[in-house]
Amino acid sequence: MKKLEGIIIPCVTPFDENGALRLDWMRENYKKWNASHISGCMALGTNGEFRALSDEEAFEVIRTAAEIMEPEKIFIAGIGRESLHHTIEFLKRLEAAQIRIDYVSVLTPCYFRKLMTDAALIDYYTEIADVSAYPVLLYCAPSYANEVRISAEAIKVLADHPNIAGVKDTSPDMMNAYMDAVGERDDFEVFAGALSNIKTCMERGGKGGILSSANYIPDTCANFIRLYRTMAWSMD
């Protein structure tokens, strides 16, 4: 399993003026990102407009991106669906196609917000991780998920699952709580999901982030991590 570190791009999914998916434009983007110093790419995160895609389109985006990605770079695929059944069905389709994926990212289900208790989210993620051939990343993004958060207590439980590798935190206020819960572990990564929390992530021992700004300034974002590490080493 590739080490989750550095800057990963949550890649945009391009559409034309008629709303049609443009895989040819996407290929050109990935070629440019391959030539940059980022650690990898994530297809079908929030910037990936996965809510606007059919399952067939989502599959083609992931398949196409995986084919273009340089093998030494990390590739993450977003697979979360509101239904556990549909999430697992989509996951199994990717596995059957033997697509090269390093991690799958699963956004919190959120339509029935009041029912998304710790127990419900723990069950949801545990069942996915139990059957997934790929390591699983939890994805906490309350601004895009009806304000549903994975609690620090639930993170602590889920971090014990051998196939759950970490959490991408795009919340405005959960980073410190996540780090307090699992930040001392070296087998579960708390990864920043926004410029607003990457500094806190790095200060608390995190290894990097999945930043939307890296879509258009990938090397600048990658250099931030390099410079931060250089400064940290010089202060030790």
Q: What is the DSSP letter of 186?
A: S
Classify residue 13: in a domain, yes or no. yes
The answer to whether position 105 is within a domain reads yes
In a domain, 1, yes or no: no
- Report how many domains make up the chain: 1
pLDDT at 166: 97
Which range marks the domain in which residue 154 is found? Answer: 6-235
Q: Write out pLDDT tens, residues 32-83.
A: 999 999 999 999 999 999 989 999 999 999 999 999 999 999 999 999 999 9
Distance CA 134, CA 103 (A): 6
pLDDT of residue 103: 98
Task: Indicate the SS3 state at residue 221.
Answer: helix
Asked if the model's pLDDT at residue 187 lies above 90, the reply is: no
41, part of any domain: yes
Q: How does residue 236 score in pLDDT terms, banded at 50, 70 and 90?
A: low
> Which domain CATH number covers 55?
3.20.20.70
Task: Return d(Cα 102, Cα 96) in angstroms, integer.
Answer: 15
Look up the pTM and report it. Answer: 0.95
228 — pLDDT class (breaks 50, 70, 90): confident
Rounded distance between C-alpha atoms, residue 212 and residue 42, angstroms: 10
Is position 205 within any domain? yes
